[in-house]
Structures are given as C-alpha cells and as structure tokens.
Amino acid sequence: MKLKFLRDTIFLLWFAVIFCMETYAYTGVADTVLNMGEVVVTGSRTERPLSQSPGSIQVVTPLLLRHSPAQNVDDILAMISGVNTTRSDGISNIHSNVSIRGLAGDEQGRTLVLFDGIPINTSDEGGVNWNSIHVDNVQRIEVFKGPGSSLYGNNAMGGVINIISKKPLSPLSVYASGAYGSLNTWKSSLSLSSRLNKQFAVFLSGYYNQSDGFNHVPDSLRTEPDYSVARFMKEGGVCTKLLYTPLSFFNMELFYDLYQDKRGEGEKIKAPDGEYRHFNHHRIQGRLYGGGGKFSYQVALYFQRQDYFKLDERIKGTAYQRFDVRSDRDDWGGIMHLRWSGKFNDLAVGGEFKNGSIDGGDHYVTSPDEVLNRGTIRMVSVFARDELNLLHGKIWLQFALRYDNAYFHKGWFEANGENVADFNSYNGRLKSNRWEHFSPRAALRYNPAETISAYVSYSQGFRASILDDLCRSGWMWIGPKIANPELGPEQIDNYEIGGTFRLIPGLSLSPSFYYAKGKDFLYYVATGEKMWGKRDIFQRQNISEVEVKGVEADLDYTLSGRWKMNLNYSYNIPEVKRFEKNPELNHKLLTYTPKNQLKGYILWTGGIADVMLRGRYKSRQYTSEDNSSHIEGFTVWDMQVSRWFVRRRLYVGGEVINIFNNRHMNTKEYRSAGRLINVKLAVSINR
C-alpha cells in the first residue's frame, strides 16, 4: 500500500514539474489578485461578495465543472477540502453520501443540499439522490462549511451545499453529446435553451445513460453458493426551466425535473434481473422574486416525490423468499424571504414551511406477509438575519437567529403475517411528538487590506430525526429495531476562525480552524426486550455527546488565467465524548470519517488541449461504531483531456478515472470499480 502511494505520488510530482515548465515557457508570468469579489448567495441567503461573507465558502465554478474528470456532481464535490463522499462504483453507484467536516460519512442527513436555494434532502431517510442531478444542468455549486441552521434550518449541521442550475443567456443554444466507456457504459444528452426576448427564456434538457456495471463483491467476501453479479444501470431524465422577467420587481421561474432509473443490487437468485432498485423522481419548483431600491423579496414553492421500489430476494435456510419494497416519499413546502438594504446594514427576515411524509411497505411475493409504515413531519420556521457594514467595508458583522417548530404525527406501523409475526406487538398508531429549536449565529469578517481577509464565527446547527427512525420497525444492520416517535433533534455548536491570504501574486492560502460540540446524537440502544428470547431489540435514541476538532487549508495558484492549481488538506477528529448507555463507545470516532484527506488538481486551459490532473488521498475510515473494523486508506488519480474544434462547436474529450486501477474498498462491503476510461463527443451551437 505504501509503495503504491509512493509510486503514484512520484508520478504526480513528475507530471506537475514537466507541465509547469512547459506552461511557464509558453505563457510567462502574470500578476493576479485575491478573488474575494466573487458573488455568492449561500452564506447570507442574498447575493454577497466573498469578502463580505463571514464564513468558509468554496465555489465550484463553471470552469471546474467542465474540466473535472468526474461523471457525477458528488464526484466533483469530493475534491473540496473538508468534504467526504462514498461513491465507489462510478456511474453505477446506487447510493452516495456527501458529508462535511466529519459528521459521519454514512449520514447524508447532517449536510443540507439545496437546488437553487430549495432543500432536496428527503424527510424519510435524510438523503439526496445524487444520481438525479445531471452535471450538464448545473451552472455552479456553492459549499458553505459549518452549521447553517440559522438561515436554512434542518440538516445543516455540517454545512450547506447549494447547487445552482443553468439559465438561458443567448437567443439560441443547442448542446448534444455522446460518450462511451468502460463497463460498456453509454451516455447521451441533449439540451436546448433560448432567451426568446427580454421577458421570456426557456431551458430544456434530457439524457439517457446505461452501463453493464461490475461485480462489486471482493473474492474474500464471497460465499457458496455465490449469487453476486454485476451491478447494471439504466437511467434517464428530463428537466425544463421557464423564466419570465417583465419587471424589476416581478420575476418568475418555474422548474420541473423528472428522473427514472433501474440499478442492479449485485445479487441474483431467481428474479430475471436479480435484486434492483428503481427511483421515479419528480421535482417541481416555482419562485417569484424582485425588488426596487433598497427592498427585495423572494417567494418559493416546491414539491418533491420519490416513488421508490426495491426487489429483495434471499435464501433463508433452504427456502426462497422475495419481497418488494414500495415507498412514496413526499416533501413539499414554501419559503418567503424579505430583504431591506440600508447604508450600513442589510436586514433579512423570512419564514418557511415544510411537510415531509412516507407511505411505504414491504410486500412479500412468496408469502402473504406485509409490513406497512406511515408518518408525517411538519416544520414551521421563522428567521432573521442582519449584517452590519463598519469602517467602510473593512468589517462585516452578521447576526442570525432561526426558530423551528417540528411536529411528527399520523404515525402508523403494521406487520401482518407469519414471517413478520415478531413485530406484531408493535402494530398500531404511533404517538405524536412536537419539539422546537432555536439556531443562533454570530460572525465577523475583517478585510484590513486587499490581500488579507479573515473571519471568526459561532453557529449552531441541528438535524431532525428521519421518518424511517420515527415510524418504521424492522430489520437493520444492527438487528431488529423498533420505531421511536419521541426522538428529538441532534444539535451542534461550532466555533471557527479562518481567512484567505495572498502570499505572492497569484498564490493564496485559505486556512480554517474549528471546534464543535454536539449533543443528543442518535445511536441504536438495546431496549432490554428480546426477539425469539435471544436477539436484542434496538431503538434509536438521542443519547450521546460528540466533539469535533479540525483544520482545513487550501493553497490556490493561478498563472496567466490559463494555469490553475489547488492543493488542500483536511484534518478532522469527530469523537464520541459521552455515551452513558454504551460507555465502550466513548472516545471512538464516528464512522466513515477519515482523519486525513489530501487533495489537489492541476488545470491547464487554452493550449493544444485542456488538461486536468487531480488526485486525492483518504486515510483509514472506521466502518463500525466501536471502531473494531475499518477500511484502509487509499489514493486515486484521475485525468481529463479535451479540445474544442471548429470555433468551439465540436468537442472531443477523454477521461481516465482511477488511473492506477486501485481497487480500494470505499465501504465495508463494496470495492471500487477500478480504472474507468471514457471518451466523449459533443456539438455546441450558439447564436
């Protein structure tokens, strides 16, 4: 392992030196300044230059989206300091999690994901279907690190990821692409956009991808009989966006996204396609916004549905069993945001309503058994944020406070049949539960000179329990578990200091230091009851305290606008500090949280070809809560080479993912796909 890491590192250094020499000879040296004037929206919920945003925010620009050797949005996010992702199967991955600052890589619910400012984490399981977000529909991504609950509420414990979609700019734009790669993977996409006139614009895109996949089970984990097979994939989607902007104080956007897929689970016994999952995903968003003078407003309505299906088959003893999981996961709500901008301050107030529900069940095919669960969680929120401008813009103070009131109700669980009789005693209506939470934030950004910008902040974040824990009883990885409708929120307090400093022309350093303390974190606890008289029955409870300490640092270098480099390092220790009911977990690290991550990329544009080389290293990750099992650290290098021809109308590109074919384990059960090679052709017409 160490020899492979050394070999790969030497290759990267060799490439960087040669590439740097060639670039310097070709372009010469040019001065650049610290780019703190870039406008972002996530840190304040309104447009604000980075130099006025008191916190750690990183932006994935259109340049990086175009040139990153990645097939999914979360693959691109994997290169950001402090971010950890679990995708290992490339485009075939069934489920991927993106976490920020060590708050458990297998818990997507502790990182809030927005699409154009609207939350898309599901209330049922807290996750995000990253496969449904097509890279070609994304304009840029903003990543706000640290708790963002003072503005965004639920899920924003580790941070907030805001994915911003493309808008039509030209009278007519057509983009069509096709790609082929390893594992017999085909990808195709088509998009059309038009700015019809000053008032109307439309964006429409569609895509279809398929792959034979690969067998993800390593030889060491296979048993006889071996039912493991390749994990195939078929997916497609259509999205449309309409914009109507007649007046400065009245503008409207409508967005609709449809996504469907079918993904093999990697096991086949009797079913023609083996085990598989299917998502039928709808997302509808509408937004009104505008303003005049010092006043502006935004009103948004949204609806998201995931029709989820999973075919599950197994051999129990000598008997074959199959059951189908069907779930309708609905999330809908509205957001209102009013802003008044004065000479020395910027005040915003708003409110939010969100309703999440689940209507699901396990329906046995080989027997008349069924398990049903239903539940709804409703959240009503109000928030206020004020920013003060002092010393002619050298100091920006931000104060924010949000109040959330959550209500779990309509809970129901029912198990019917001989095979699920052990859960019959838990049948019936579940107790309703209401709780509330205040999320404060205070932060300061100081800009004493053009080359120095520093910040300090305190913020609190929270995460509501998912509906799966509130209203579903059944089998989990830990064994039999029962629902707990009385769960409250997890909470974390974060203290942070950081900044951005230009060291020499073109070279800047952005470090962050943080300390966080959490309480009421959710863990499985034995209830004292037994199943079959011998198996402990577990239940999620708000039971433990957690401490997180970390350092992040980004080194950025830009030369002549063509040469860009980033090198970043993250050190993170998320540790259980107190767990009275399970003291053997005290001082253990959270699962899937590497202590060390080292990442970087080199990008060259405008020459014979556009080239990006990137590499990332993750240290050991624990896969069990008692830290008794782990996966080893690994290193992966990727590369993309591309070129536009015929006045930027014809695109030819290729990428190699995992250049050295490192078949690492990214979870405790699944190994990565190894080296993946893809080639792509595209045609672009702009008028």
The least confident of 1-10, 405-414, 609-618 is: 1-10
**610-618/596-604 β-pairing:** antiparallel
Please determine, for residue 18, whether its predicted confidence score (pLDDT) is greater than 90.
no
CA–CA separation, 456 vs 440, rounded Å? Answer: 15
Average pLDDT of span 128-156: 95
- Of 332, 390, 385, 312, which Cα lies nearest the Cα of 122? 332
Provide the pairing of β-strand 479-482 with 535-559.
parallel
Q: What is the pLDDT of residues 61-119, one digit of tens each?
A: 999 999 999 889 999 999 999 999 988 667 778 888 999 998 877 888 999 999 999 99
Average pLDDT rounded to a whole number, residues 128-139: 94
For residue 293, give every residue at least 6 positions away whose Cβ sits within 8 Å of its Cβ, in sequence order, or none. none
Task: Return the pLDDT at 469.
Answer: 96
DSSP secondary structure string for all residues of 352-421: EEEEEEEEEEEEESSSS-EEEEEEEEEEEEEEEEEEEEETTTTEEEEEEEEEEEEEEEEEEEEEESGGGG
What's the rounded Cα separation, in Å, for the pair 116 and 253?
A: 11
| Confidence (pLDDT) at 408 | 98
pTM check: above 0.85: yes
Nearest Cα to 170, choosing from 605, 684, 645?
Answer: 684
Please check whether residue 455 is in contact with residue 498, taking contact to mean a CB–CB distance below 8 angstroms: yes
Q: Which of 172-181, 417-426, 473-482 has the highest mean pLDDT?
A: 172-181
pLDDT tens readout for residues 207-255: 999 999 988 887 777 777 889 999 999 999 999 999 999 988 899 999 9
User: Could you give the 3-state DSSP secondary structure of residue 18?
Assistant: helix
Identity at 358, one-letter amino acid code: I
99 to 146, 158, 672: CA distances (angstroms): 11, 7, 19
If residue 589 lies in a helix (H) or strand (E), which one and from where to where?
none
Residue with tokens 């957690």: 546
Q: How far apart are CA 358 and CA 67, in angstroms?
A: 39
C-alpha 198/C-alpha 300 separation (Å) is 22
- pLDDT score of 88: 66
Write b or e for each residue in 448-484: b if 16 or more Cβ atoms lie within 10 A of its Cβ, otherwise e.
Answer: eeebebbbbbebbbbbbbbbbbbbbbbeeeeebbbbb
First to last CA, the chain: 52
User: Which token pair is 113?
Assistant: 């994901």
Contacts of residue 138, Cβ cutoff 8 Å, sequence gap at least 6 = 65, 73, 163, 164, 165, 166
Over residues 152-160, mean pLDDT: 95
Report the C-alpha dihedral over residues 7, 10, 12, 14, rounded to 10 degrees. -140
Q: Annotate 66-90 with DSSP letters as a single string.
A: HH---SSHHHHHTTSTTEEE---SG
Read off φ and ψ for residue 392, nearest 5 degrees: 60, 40
Residue 12 clears pLDDT 70, i.e. is over it: no
Q: What is the mean pLDDT of residues 40-60?
A: 90
- DSSP character for 606? S
Cα 482 from Cα 360, distance rounded (Å): 16
pLDDT at 518 over 90: yes
Q: Among 31-35, 489-493, 643-647, which stretch is predicted with the lowest mean pLDDT? A: 31-35
Mean pLDDT computed over every residue of the chain: 91
Share of the chain above pLDDT 90, in %: 78
All structural domains of the chain, each given as residue ranges with its CATH number in brackets, are: 2-686 (2.40.170.20)
421's tokens: 């009789």
